[in-house]
Structure 1
């Protein structure tokens, strides 16, 4: 086992975006790594949003005097009520082993809060955890935007190569 344990995120963010020196196969591999990182960050954001929504719903229910069990409200809490939006048609596989490092950070944000037992948690504690999760979500969102810029740079360079004849579909199919 090597002592070098650089995270994929670190590799993606430290990429030299002067891409003309890369052969097309290297460029595609680097883009695939960046896309995988973006997918994992997106997954973590969805987990964070779910947890934040659950805590917010519990706080709202308390303020409204609603003592119904949280479990009975989960479908409504976690339903996506946002306006329809355009999403990428590309398949984004999630590597559960990679998501683990992000999930550990999220779980640390939760601290000792047991989500299924929110009803017995003091409101001040719920607010503290929601604030920590929200800060963590903003950090993950900023990282994700930066990774998306890297993916866009790779895609733009690949498009330029195809447009200018430096790369061909035949080469891609031969790989």
Structure 2
């Protein structure tokens, strides 16, 4: 999977002629897009978490909290619950997507991209890193997170279109729900 698969799925022509596709192919495409979205979302969450940690460190420094400058990773761990907490509800709860609690098999390639931007070793040594280096890491991660968010939205669009096509087929009778259960 990875970037080649993602580019194929996000290509404008990917769903061309969707109304003529066999129903089994529509279901397979939906499952493929959902799996890729899950992998992209996983990597995006990793990037967001690392961004939150880096931004918190930059904010701590801007406040002049020098007394904890030598605490290192243990200080970050102590602050982690507050750093990663969010009070923001989804923009549109009706369009919210379920958060999955597993590491998708397809996520490795995207997680490697996050590691290439800022790996765990970098985070473990935050207090020893110059502020300029932290700022550059924030820029790299923010750009990657933005790219992953755009890909995720594109995949949501594909999944929605594929689901809509399946729903249309079930409604008009050109596909039967019983086909989902195989020969019983």
| Fold shared by both chains (TM-score > 0.5) | yes
Pick closer, same or farther for the CA change 1:112–1:27 going to 2, 3 Å.
closer
Name the residue aligned to 1:37.
Answer: 36
Give runs of aligned pairs for residues 153-164 of structure 1, distance below 5 A. Answer: 153-164=161-172
Name the residue aligned to 2:108.
Answer: 100
> Quick one: which of 59, 66, 81 aligns to 2:87?
81
Structure 1 stretches of 5 or more lacking a match?
none
Contact (CA 8 Å) 1:41, 1:140: kept in 2 or not? yes
Structure 2 distance, partners of 1:50, 1:148, is: 22
- Number of residue pairs the alignment of both structures matches: 170
Structure 2 stretches of 5 or more lacking a match?
69-74
Where 2:86 maps in the other structure, the secondary structure is coil
Pick closer, same or farther for the CA change 1:22–1:92 going to 2, 3 Å.
farther
Structure 1's consecutive aligned runs of 4 or more residues displaced over 6 angstroms after TM superposition are: none
Name the residue aligned to 1:125.
Answer: 133
Contact (CA 8 Å) 1:8, 1:33: kept in 2 or not? no
Pick closer, same or farther for the CA change 1:91–1:164 going to 2, 3 Å.
farther
CA RMSD of aligned residues (A): 2.4
Contact (CA 8 Å) 1:41, 1:144: kept in 2 or not? yes
Give runs of aligned pairs for residues 1-12 of structure 1, distance below 5 A. Answer: 7-12=4-9
Give runs of aligned pairs for residues 107-122 of structure 1, distance below 5 A. Answer: 107-110=115-118, 114-122=122-130
Deviates further, 59-68 or 99-108:
59-68
Name the residue aligned to 2:147.
Answer: 139
Structure 2 distance, partners of 1:31, 1:122, is: 45
Contact (CA 8 Å) 1:31, 1:154: kept in 2 or not? yes
Once the two structures are superposed, residues 99-131 of structure 1 have per-residue CA deviations (whole angstroms, 9 ceiling, x without a partner) of: 111111111112796101100101011000101
Contact (CA 8 Å) 2:42, 2:104: kept in 1 or not? no
Structure 1 distance, partners of 2:98, 2:155, is: 18
Structure 2 distance, partners of 1:89, 1:145, is: 14
